[in-house]
Amino acid sequence: MRVGIGYDVHSLGPGKGVILGGVEVPCGKKLEGWSDADVVVHAIVDALLGAAGLGDIGGWFPAGDPDYREISSLSLLSRVMDVFKGRGIKVINVDVTIVAQEPELSPFVAGMRLKLGNALELATERVSIKATTTDGLGFIGRGDGIAAQAVALIQE
């Protein structure tokens, strides 16, 4: 068994919704990034790659590479899962904390768990998603960005 930790943050800019955990969440802004900027999936990918000793998301899917422009982060996760299958690595569980002042995320957590469980080939109860705010403090509290932290357990 091996454990990995992942963290990601993206700024919010003008737009009409964010994608978190593969789920479209209505919002008066959007996350900015090279891909779809899904901080939840990016944190999970980093946690998985870290647990396996395989580097980080930027090494595998570099920003600026036209192949990854506006790509779904679930597609990136699928590619990592293919690598894991080829190496005999199994994901045991993931635990994610999303840090966002807005939008309200509780109505979307079940959908995120379902999408991520499917992508990770895990039962929904092995995918934990929690959301919190910063009580108005810092760049997240001002509504300038959203962050996510993930922990993953794998078995080689």
Q: Would you place residue 110 in the very low, low, confident or very high pLDDT band (cuts 50, 70, 90)?
A: very high
CATH number of the domain to which 93 belongs: 3.30.1330.50
Q: Would you place residue 123 in the very low, low, confident or very high pLDDT band (cuts 50, 70, 90)?
A: very high
User: For residue range 22-33, what is the model confidence (pLDDT) as tens digits?
Assistant: 999 999 999 999
* Predicted TM-score (pTM) of this structure: 0.96
Q: What is the pLDDT of residue 24?
A: 96
Range of the domain at 31: 2-155
Q: What is the pLDDT of residue 154?
A: 98
The number of distinct structural domains making up the chain is 1
Q: Which among 139, 105, 124 is positioned nearest to 9, based on CA atoms?
A: 139
Q: Would you place residue 75 in the very low, low, confident or very high pLDDT band (cuts 50, 70, 90)?
A: very high
